[in-house]
Amino acid sequence: MILVGEALRTDLYQLTMMQAYWKSGHNPIATFDYFVRRIPYGSYLLVAGLAYILEYIKNLGFEEDDLIYLKKQGFDEGFLDYLKEFRFTGDVLAMPEGEIAFPREPIIRVTAPIMESQLVETYLLNKMNFSTLIATKASRVAYAAQGRPVAEFGLRRAQGDGHLEATRASFIGGCATTSNVLAGKLLGIPISGTMAHSFVTSFDQEIDSFRAYADCFPLNCFLLIDTYNTLEGARKAAVVGKELEARGYRLVGVRLDSGDIAELSGKVREILDKAKLDYVKIIASGDLNEFKIQDMLARGAKVDGFGVGTELVTGKPNPALDGIYKLSEIVDERGSIPKMKLSEEEFKATLPGRKTVFRVYEDDRIMKDIMALEDEKVPGNARKVPVQVVEKGEIVFDTPSLKEIRENARKNLELLPKVYRGISDTPQYPVELSLGLKNLREKVVEKIKGSIR
């Protein structure tokens, strides 16, 4: 998933701050929290991307050509000598992929000498923000589909090489298949697809294109029927379906890519059923998203599955997740010093100290989360969500297979009450602060205000 030599996939200021820390001898143990201030849609996040972070930490180091490049940028020779032996030596706690998270909760907590914990910030944000955004979007699309399979069709509209990450996250979120053949090979995700309009228009007669495709793929024949006229295309597909039957095969499905699919699908279903092809599936595609799918099914669409591309792999209408990485504690010769950011905008203020998240259950459903200090105990039926994934620089977490992550995500989402899974107008899930965390926040706020008076 990652090539050795990714140390320079970072922002310049991470390296300039590191050199300033190095030169000043200021390298205390620092704890940073990765969390999301606001969710772009809905009430929850589906966590994805941790596997990339663990691989990055495992291989993190500077290559000789990295150091040569940094020397040309004016970095100090002594600092570059330090980077020659650089390795991550800290601890990381994280919510595993497939967990659900909510605003302001620490999804990942990094504790390490500040030069180390500072360096990993950019890569961590890059991977976690994108994968979590797309996994969350996919879970919403899958929920809107009401159990019908969703195929991810986004490769051609994905942001460059991010297509593999988008496909992986979409699968975690609930997509059943992908059109992305490379993702199928590298990630083991089932692949699926039909044909393009160009295939149909390349033949003089639409039915000839259908017959050519059926002859080549009699065991897995899907026909695109809206190139010219959807209902005429359905009638021709029915002819080819009966021809396949006569050869001992079955037409698997037809795809609708345009028009009023809710209305057209009903008429297509009638045509297929009249031809005694009730087993033929109807698949819908064409700039779909969770809102369109929900509306389509509410109108009684006779659709058995969906292909979703652009809006899924780009996270539209919110192409970026507001995930941030903030300092919450420093440990030096004076002991533990909680840190926080104040802001005139309350939602931008951070929470101090080493924190964790407890999830409270009732009647096999999650009822609320409690953010608490590391050493606090929470009464009742509660589970600590983050787990140790890196200890003293060593990976101590066995990353599940992609299929296992997808299944864990499905189970976790099923435990979330439906009121919080709605496509629109969902209430805010309750996340409480423990008494200890509230008291610590008040103390730190008073200390900060006293120092700036």
In this predicted structure, the answer to whether residue 120 has a pLDDT above a threshold of 80 is yes
If one counts every other C-beta atom within 10 angstroms of the C-beta of residue 190, the result is 12
For the CA atoms of the chain, what is the radius of gyration?
26
**8 A C-beta contact, residue 129 and residue 34:** no
Q: Is 353 left (phi over 0), alpha (psi -120 to 50) or beta?
A: left
In this predicted structure, the answer to whether residue 152 has a pLDDT above a threshold of 90 is yes
Task: Tell whether 71 is covered by a domain.
Answer: no
Task: Tell whether 79 is covered by a domain.
Answer: no
Banded model confidence at residue 178, pLDDT cuts 50, 70, 90: very high
Number of separate domains in the chain: 2
CA distances from 27 to 157, 209, 338, 340 (A): 43, 68, 16, 18
Question: What does the pLDDT average to over 176-194?
Answer: 97
* Placement of tokens 């709605």 in the chain: 422
pLDDT of residue 122: 98
**8 A C-beta contact, residue 397 and residue 387:** yes
CA distances from 447 to 174, 334, 437, 450, 453 (A): 46, 16, 15, 5, 10
In this predicted structure, the answer to whether residue 285 has a pLDDT above a threshold of 90 is yes
Query: Which are the contacts of 146, defined by CB distance < 8 A and separation ≥ 6?
Result: 297
In this predicted structure, the answer to whether residue 291 has a pLDDT above a threshold of 50 is yes
* Placement of tokens 């990942």 in the chain: 108
Query: Do 374 and 424 fall into the same domain?
Result: yes
**Residue 293 backbone phi and psi in degrees, to 5:** -65, -45
Last residue of a domain, one of 287, 313, 339: 313
Instruction: For residue range 360-406, list pLDDT tens digits in order.
Output: 999 889 999 999 999 898 887 899 999 999 999 999 999 999 999 99
Predicted TM-score of the model (pTM): 0.95
Query: Do 172 and 233 fall into the same domain?
Result: yes
Instruction: For residue range 39-58, list pLDDT tens digits in order.
Output: 988 999 999 999 999 999 99
Q: What is the mean pLDDT of the chain?
A: 95
Task: Tell whether 432 is covered by a domain.
Answer: yes
Of 149-153, 156-160, 235-239, least confident by mean pLDDT is 156-160
Query: Do 369 and 262 fall into the same domain?
Result: no
pLDDT above 70 covers what percent of the chain?
A: 98
Task: Tell whether 44 is covered by a domain.
Answer: yes
Instruction: For residue range 228-255, list pLDDT tens digits in order.
Output: 999 999 999 999 999 999 999 999 999 9
If one counts every other C-beta atom within 10 angstroms of the C-beta of residue 169, the result is 29
Question: Which residues span the domain enclosing 182?
Answer: 135-313
Query: Do 190 and 236 fall into the same domain?
Result: yes
DSSP annotation of 340 reads -
Query: Do 213 and 255 fall into the same domain?
Result: yes
Task: Tell whether 15 is covered by a domain.
Answer: no
pLDDT above 90 covers what percent of the chain?
A: 91
Beta bridge partner(s), residue 34? 108, 325
Question: What does the pLDDT average to over 221-231?
Answer: 98
Banded model confidence at residue 452, pLDDT cuts 50, 70, 90: low
HSE value, Cβ hemisphere, 13 Å, CA-based, for 67: 15
In this predicted structure, the answer to whether residue 3 has a pLDDT above a threshold of 80 is no
Sheet holding 387-391, edge to edge: 335-338, 323-332, 29-36, 108-113, 91-94, 387-391, 394-395
If one counts every other C-beta atom within 10 angstroms of the C-beta of residue 162, the result is 16
Query: Do 299 and 353 fall into the same domain?
Result: no
Q: Which of 253, 248, 259, 184 is nearest to 222 (CA)?
A: 253
Banded model confidence at residue 453, pLDDT cuts 50, 70, 90: low
Banded model confidence at residue 161, pLDDT cuts 50, 70, 90: confident
Task: Tell whether 415 is covered by a domain.
Answer: yes
Banded model confidence at residue 348, pLDDT cuts 50, 70, 90: confident
Six token digits for residue 424: 């629109």
Task: Tell whether 8 is covered by a domain.
Answer: no
In this predicted structure, the answer to whether residue 1 has a pLDDT above a threshold of 70 is no
Cα angle 310, 151, 241; round to 5: 120
Query: Do 340 and 408 fall into the same domain?
Result: yes
Task: Tell whether 308 is covered by a domain.
Answer: yes
Question: What does the pLDDT average to over 117-133?
Answer: 98
CATH of the domain at 228: 3.20.20.70
pLDDT of residue 2: 42
* Placement of tokens 């500077």 in the chain: 62
DSSP annotation of 191 reads B
State how far the Cα of 246 lies from the Cα of 360, in Å rounded to an integer: 58
CA distances from 155 to 56, 159, 162, 164, 284 (A): 24, 9, 9, 8, 18
* Placement of tokens 């691989």 in the chain: 55
Whether the CA torsion 310, 312, 318, 320 is positive or negative: it is negative
State how far the Cα of 4 lies from the Cα of 398, in Å rounded to an integer: 20
Query: Do 164 and 240 fall into the same domain?
Result: yes
CATH of the domain at 444: 3.20.140.10
Banded model confidence at residue 5, pLDDT cuts 50, 70, 90: low
State how far the Cα of 284 lies from the Cα of 263, in Å rounded to an integer: 12
Query: Do 365 and 436 fall into the same domain?
Result: yes
Instruction: For residue range 416-437, list pLDDT tens digits in order.
Output: 999 999 999 999 999 999 999 9
Query: Which are the contacts of 224, defined by CB distance < 8 A and separation ≥ 6?
Result: 194, 195, 196, 197, 199, 200, 233, 254, 255, 257
Decide: residue 91, CB within 10 A, 0-12 exposed, 13-18 middle, 19+ buried. buried
Query: Do 299 and 422 fall into the same domain?
Result: no
Query: Do 405 and 343 fall into the same domain?
Result: yes
Query: Do 437 and 361 fall into the same domain?
Result: yes
Instruction: Produce one character per residue of 438-452: b if its CB has 16 or more CB atoms within 10 Å, e if not.
Output: eebbeebeeeeeeee
